[in-house]
Amino acid sequence: MQGLAVLFVFQFIGIALHWLGVPLPGTVIGLILFTVSLFAGVVKLDTVERTSSLLLRHMLLFFTPVILATTHVVSSTRGQLVAFSASLVISLLAVLFTTGVVTNALLKLRTTADAETSEASAE
Amino acid sequence: MNEIASSPVFGIATTLAIYAASLVLHKRVKWAHPLITTTVALLLLLKFAHVSLEQYQHGGDIITLMLGPATVALGVPIYKHATRLKHALPALSLGIVAGAFVGMITAGVTAALLGASQEMVMSAVPKSVTTPIAIEVAKQLHGIPEISAAMAVIAGAIGSLVGPELLRRLRVSHDLAVGAAMGTASHALGTARCVRDSEVQASSASLAMALAGIATSIMAVGVPVVMRLSSRILAHLHS
């Protein structure tokens, strides 16, 4: 319960800051402030860990109503279905490729530079 | 029936019950993904009980409300895995931010080239990010949040199915890199797939999902500016 309170308070702070003119979505401001607070030790991991893992595990449940609404919206933009699908697939492949290849290359560079034990165990 | 269905309890009870049942089914029948079974079962229920989507959303909206704290909770995997993945953090962040950037550009440009409306293009831009953040960014860009959500979910599903195989063909061999790519491109569903494959992949995937969400919403602030500039340049070229 404490965990849920902390999460909601951070979301609320984010929404308030957005309302005051910060140009990011309120929830994302909340996420950034919450993460910073964890690193700064203002929020203890113990307080939020259980609630967070429960919420993250059931993320799917929370956007089920959004998915239902989607079926309605997608059928109303039928004329743009090609743009919709092509944009989806091309961008998905581009992201997989970019992040995968860039990260892999950078990690290899590091591994050859100094073979770290933790990295060897990760392989 | 109609009066009962308008109560928020109807939407909450049916969604929770069907979701719980689909989780049980998923344990027995591996290919019956809860995303698909929950959606189909709810749609059928609404259809046969003659309940409109609007009535259902009285309760549905309350469930969706929980996406807020769930998104903030993404800070926990960032914190936990950043401490653990410290040595690889520069490589991971660079790869993740590059992927998020490419994702926005390719989604927006592809949609625009294929003649999508401005609203549709703006809905496509935040598509390669975890669904709750995609919804928020879409609102900000005056896109259609439901379209962004649909694209994000479908990208998640496709990526979680074919991602690891594709990455192997691209010779992405490092587990941390595979996870980062899956988390950036297919967020929650991609991460769930990594959890099944390897713990190392899962850790970089959850870090990637959260970081890519933040990076995309920060970069999205610049999108309207870029759009205005490019339309001005186009207008100049035409005159």
Record the tokens describing residue A85, joined without a space. Answer: 């699908």
The ipTM value here is: 0.82
Query: What residues of B are in contact with residue A98 (Cβ under 8 Å)?
Result: 95, 98-99, 102-103
Contact A89 B176 (CB under 8 A): no
Nearest by CB: A86 against B60, B64, B110: B110
SS (H, E, C) chain A: CHHHHHHHHHHHHHHHHHHCCCCCCHHHHHHHHHHHHHHHCCCCHHHHHHHHHHHHHCHHHHCHHHHHHHHHHHHHCHHHHHHHHHHHHHHHHHHHHHHHHHHHHHHHHHHHHCCCHHHHHHC
Question: Per-residue pLDDT tens for A53-107?
Answer: 898 888 778 878 877 877 776 676 667 878 888 888 999 999 999 999 998 888 8
Record the tokens describing residue B126, joined without a space. Answer: 């935040």
- pLDDT band at B41, cuts 50/70/90? very high
Answer yes or no: are the C-beta atoms of B148 and A62 closer than 8 Å: no
Please check whether residue B74 touches A, CB under 8 A: yes
DSSP character at residue B128: S
Q: What is the pTM of this model?
A: 0.79
